[in-house]
Amino acid sequence: MHGYDSTSYGEGFADVYDEWYADVTDVDATVSLVDALAGSGRRVLELGVGTGRLAIPMARRGLHVTGIDSSSSMLERLAAHPDGASVTAICGDMVDDLPDAEFEVCLVAYNTLFNLLDADAQQRCFVEVARRLTVGGSFVVEAIVPDDDAPAGRDVSVRSMAADRVVLSVSDHRPEEQRTNGQFVELTEAGGVRLRPWSIRWADPDELDAMAAAAGLVLERRVGDMGGTPFDDGSDQHVSVYRKPA
């Protein structure tokens, strides 16, 4: 998408993220999984921390959470939260700007890995995360399972509609590139038009497993969601836990 970069998503969605995506995945189940994996070290790194939807509840559980995000607007909202100071926030790229520290768990939730828009960047993310995991540490990846039957092309639909507001979803699906670009077009009586762009480069579980293996990580388990639903051929999402072996 012309003009789209690593900050575009956060800058476009920061003001509505908590309203639109508060319940997009199971927060309690996510916190419980990360808590169980963190052991006695309790140090967690979240990639794409955003407004703290997951990081703040993890910190409330007693985990020592560091979060990185390329969007200053997202991090401003995290800092403004009453418990925002409980999270160590870094404004930067989730490949090149990861902190020089060790963590028992790294979490990348809800397709955030796919915000890295080429296979090389995704592979380098695995490598940089692996370098920062303690021996026995876990990289938790939550992502969709791509639909091989989804047709290529463009689509327009209505996301939401109220008396004074309409939000349209416009997308361009390109299977040959493993890429989907999109815009939420928000039309309001008072504010006119607001564009909220997004773009992902998806990878299927087998490709992610290969990236993990190349980074020296091994797949410990894969489930259908954070709550532990079994993963099978009909699953449309997965949570994969990769372990750094001794």
User: Quick one: 91 and 186 in the same domain?
Assistant: no
| Residue 160 sits in the same domain as residue 181 | yes
- What is the reported pLDDT for 205? 98
**How many whole angstroms separate alpha carbon 246 and alpha carbon 136?**
6
Residue type, 217: L
d(CA 223, CA 232): 8
pLDDT tens digits for range 130-148: 999 999 999 999 999 999 9
Which residues are 243's β-sheet partners? 138, 218
Asked if residue 191 and residue 209 are part of one domain, the reply reads: no
**Full-model pTM:** 0.95
Domain containing 184 equals: 153-200
Are 140 and 186 members of one domain? no
Q: HSE of 205 in the Cβ direction (CA atoms, 13 Å)? A: 22
Could you report the per-residue pLDDT of 191-246, keeping only the tens digit for each?
A: 899 999 999 999 999 999 999 999 999 999 999 999 999 999 999 999 999 999 98
146-205 pLDDT, tens per residue? 999 999 999 999 999 999 999 999 999 999 999 999 999 999 988 899 999 999 999 999
Domain assignment present for residue 120? The answer is: yes
Question: Residues 20-34: pLDDT tens digits?
Answer: 999 999 999 999 999
Residue at 8: amino acid letter: S
CATH number at residue 130: 3.40.50.150
User: 158 and 85: one domain?
Assistant: no
